[in-house]
Amino acid sequence: MLINFAFGIFLSLFAGFIFFISVSTSVQGRRSIEALSGCQCPACGAIYELQVARNARENFLARCGEARRAQPHMKLNFGHRWPVVCSYCGKRSSFDFYANKLG
């Protein structure tokens, strides 16, 4: 009985921890997308806008997923920069999603 109760507490705490991690990751991703969408292209000065920022994050996550599937036994470090391409002039830049600024 006591073991079941302790196991229930453990499961509740674990579920809460997983929920917290998923929410905080989602909030951080949204903040970075908002920050990038307001940045100016260093070449032409155009604002990147929301769709370009979303594409930059999604492309980064897709490439990370592909690399993990290709090398499932390796510990990979993908850095903390999203490659971003200006939709007006095509200039490639990188966005530091830890510092939330172009780098």
- The site for Zn ion (CB under 5 A) is made up of 41, 43-44, 46, 86, 88-89, 91
Please identify, using beta-carbon distances, which residue of 65 and 90 lies nearer to Zn ion. Answer: 90
CB 84 within 8 Å of CB 36: yes
Name the minimum Å distance from CB 37 to Zn ion. Answer: 14
Nearer to Zn ion, 27 or 44 (CB): 44
55 vs 3, 5, 29, 58, CA distance in Å? 48, 46, 12, 5
To the nearest whole angstrom, how small is the minimum distance from the Cβ of residue 36 to Zn ion?
A: 13
Q: How far is the CB of 31 from Zn ion (least distance, A)?
A: 23
Which whole-number Å values give the CA distances from 57 to 6, 35, 43, 93, in the listed order? 40, 12, 21, 13
d(CA 20, CA 18): 5
What is the smallest separation between the CB atom of 45 and Zn ion, expressed in angstroms? 7
CB 59 within 8 A of CB 78: no
Q: Whose Cβ is closer to Zn ion: residue 29's or residue 88's?
A: 88
